[in-house]
Structure 1
Amino acid sequence: MSVEAARAADVLTQLSGEVRLLTLAELVRRGREGASVGELRWALDLPLAKVGDACARLVALGVATGSGDGYYRARLEGLREAAVAVDQQQPISRLLGEYPQLRGNFSHGRLTALPPTLSERYQLLGELLVRFLALDGLYSEDEINHRLAEVTDDVAAVRRMLVDTGWLERDRAGTTYGPARPVSAVR
């Protein structure tokens, strides 16, 4: 795990604490004005020490800022940075950078929607997924499903799409799959 991914995991873990999450939500609600620990304590109806600890942790995580005037403000860029770090750890991310027109079909490294069947993007998606699979021989349906499950929830539809577009070849029994045509290593 990279340093960035570990940091992102820490941000998400720390935000799972109810008081920290409530405090961040209240800071977001208050916008640029921010709030003091006393104001947050009153708005959240929580002990001052808990709110003060939550503010300190949020600042340490980079999702809030504290100023010399005693006011805290939300810094949502810290959440965006954590999300980007998590996205970069997804197995398809490296290849997806070479297919910018397909980014809208993915969310956080997961295929969320197939492009229209007759579109150029449908063929491009097939190429991208076959490159991701990196097939060098014959594989059982379970092995193909396992690999596809890393990037999609609907492995059957995606497997079928790969066969229909001619990127994946299936034997007559429908149990063994292999590459149907060569794909370039670099696009």
Structure 2
Amino acid sequence: METLSGHLLVATPAIDDGPFWRSVVFVLDHDDDGALGVIVNRPLDSDVDDVLPQWADLLDAPVCFFDGGPVAEDVVLAVALVEDTSVAAQLPTWRSVAGRVGLIDLTGPPPEPGQVSGLRVFAGYAGWGPGQLETEIDHEAWVVVAARDADLVSPQPANLWHDVLRRQEGDLRFWATLPDDPTAN
């Protein structure tokens, strides 16, 4: 399987509860050793300004932490979009993921204004061991779709599951109309 880094994993109705129910995961890293990503549609009630005030001005609304996933919830990851990839070379704390998307080390200095065009901070992450994600995809728990930069900084992240499905072609787009509880239909 090709690397899924830079793609979205969209939870299918096969995941009917738990932390991945109706989640949209941006894959940060995927290789033979496993996969790592962050859930991009789960804002938390914790304001970044309260914990990392020097970073708050760089964040896109909502200016809060996001629940990145059930693994290491005490670990904080910052995912950013650079204005262009040549700017990334000027950021000593930058690690490229795909295109304009990368990780920024929050222990270093914040980027200068204009160096990043979007930033989100995640508490925890989603992780899979070798072959685990591929098995889940084979069992139709996830659909792999192309990510758009705007997905990472959506001003309405709670709608992202519906929005990403709605823009797909074919039958996949109809999942966006699935009610929260299909048995209550």
TM-score tier (shorter): under 0.3
The structure that is strand-richer by fraction is: 2
TM-score, normalised to structure 1, is 0.24
- Higher helix proportion: 1
Q: Larger relative CO (CA 8 A, sep 6+): 1 or 2?
A: 2
User: Which structure: larger Rg?
Assistant: 1
Normalization by structure 2: what TM-score? 0.24
